[in-house]
Amino acid sequence: MDKVIITNNVCQQLTEVLREIKHDRLFLLCDTTTYSLCYPTIKDVEGISEATHIIIGGTDTHKNLDTIAKVWTEMGNGGGTRHSLMINLGGGMVTDLGGFAASTFKRGIPFINIPTTLLSMVDASVGGKTGINFNGLKNEIGVFNQPATVLIDTQFLRTLDYQNICSGYAEMLKHGLISDMKTFAELLSFDLNNVDYAHLAQMVSTSVEVKEHIVAEDPQEHGIRKALNLGHTVGHAFESFALQFENKPENPQGIHPVLHGYAVAWGLICELYLSCIKTGFPTNIMRQTVQFIKDSYGTLSVTCNDYPQLFELMTHDKKNTAGTINFTLLGGIGDIRINQTATKEEIYEMLDFFREG
């Protein structure tokens, strides 16, 4: 299992980690944004300025074969060997792609993740899922491989805008829902419009622990790790649905591509509703959660004409088996029910609730 260190002094921690993990060459992977905004924070750490810096494009469209080929090429040209070390400094795209590059170069070298977004701190950088998009499918090619260390510097939280705080916070809500009432109640009472960063940092630590415990039990998602998919069956469908409006900003419904966590938050509304009707989740907690999400994230303007497409997108989810749509639902906070299914009628009813609820 990876070692996750939460700190407000990434330079000191990184210095120690670089001394501990012996290496002949050091590679630093950033995207264009993290290279200009976050690299200056670590540039004076011993060994960092002399490392081979590999800079890639910063959006999900760059999470592809061309980019991974560029990274492998620069690692080879930079004299990389099996005893080299990689640092991934960035959001989920950098830690996923960099983790995959490191896991496959010379059959695998160790890597350190330094996540710079809330989403990557509480989710992507922890747990060893690495990979790239391929053939039009997200994260189609990849491996499970744990980072040697994850260094989470909560100071980076102060650089994030409201949307990026909300996006990561959706995964924290998910972690609260699958853990216990105290953790969840604390999350629902937090004011996202007036962020208390010290409090957020402490909740990040709790959230990461929830994920670490689950991943330690089931690193390759054969069973309980599916708990982390709560909100994601519908969330991924919403995300793909919204993406089709990328070059159509004038569409009548006013839909535009959304950050992953927004789709997850809306997916949580839907899957908590399904949990109420199928696995006995308490309606009052579902209503409170829906209110928090609507207040903080707004909504996605789907109409009933969109249901067939959303249903179709759910049938293509990677987590499905034998043609049935797979959901993770809850019987209550922390009462996880994996491998649940729903009929088309139940799914349409759920979408009615999402629109009108």
Q: Which residues bind ligand GLY (CB under 6 A)?
A: 123, 127, 129, 225, 228
Joined together, the tokens standing for residue 282 give: 């308490």
95 CB-near residues (< 8 Å, 6+ apart) = 88, 113, 115, 120, 124, 125, 130, 147
- Give least dist CB 313 to ligand GLY, A: 18
Q: How far apart are the first and last CA of the chain?
A: 41
- Give least dist CB 220 to ligand GLY, A: 10
- Give least dist CB 346 to ligand GLY, A: 24
CA-atom Rg of the chain in angstroms: 20
- Give least dist CB 123 to ligand GLY, A: 5
**Nearer CB in complex with ligand GLY: 18/258:** 258
Q: How far apart are CA 236 and CA 39, in angstroms?
A: 31
**Nearer CB in complex with ligand GLY: 2/306:** 2
**Nearer CB in complex with ligand GLY: 130/149:** 130
Nearest to 209 by CA among 264, 143, 127, 128: 127
172 CB-near residues (< 8 Å, 6+ apart) = 118, 122, 187, 203, 204, 207
- Amino acid 3 reads K
- Give least dist CB 126 to ligand GLY, A: 8
Q: Burial, 314: exposed, middle or buried (Cβ in 10 Å; 0-12, 13-18, 19+)?
A: buried
Q: How far apart are CA 308 and CA 310, in angstroms?
A: 6
Nearest to 183 by CA among 241, 122, 141: 122
**Nearer CB in complex with ligand GLY: 53/225:** 225
- Give least dist CB 77 to ligand GLY, A: 32
**Nearer CB in complex with ligand GLY: 230/276:** 230
Q: How far apart are CA 287 and CA 357, in angstroms?
A: 9
280 CB-near residues (< 8 Å, 6+ apart) = 331, 332
Decide if 176 contacts 30 (C-beta within 8 A): no
- Position with the least CB separation from ligand GLY: 228
Q: CB count, 10 Å around CB of 159?
A: 12
**Nearer CB in complex with ligand GLY: 123/317:** 123
The partner residues of 85 in beta bridges, in order of sequence, read: 26
- Give least dist CB 131 to ligand GLY, A: 11
- Give least dist CB 233 to ligand GLY, A: 12
Task: Dump the DSSP string for 43-57.
Answer: TTSTTTTTSEEEEE-
- Give least dist CB 25 to ligand GLY, A: 29
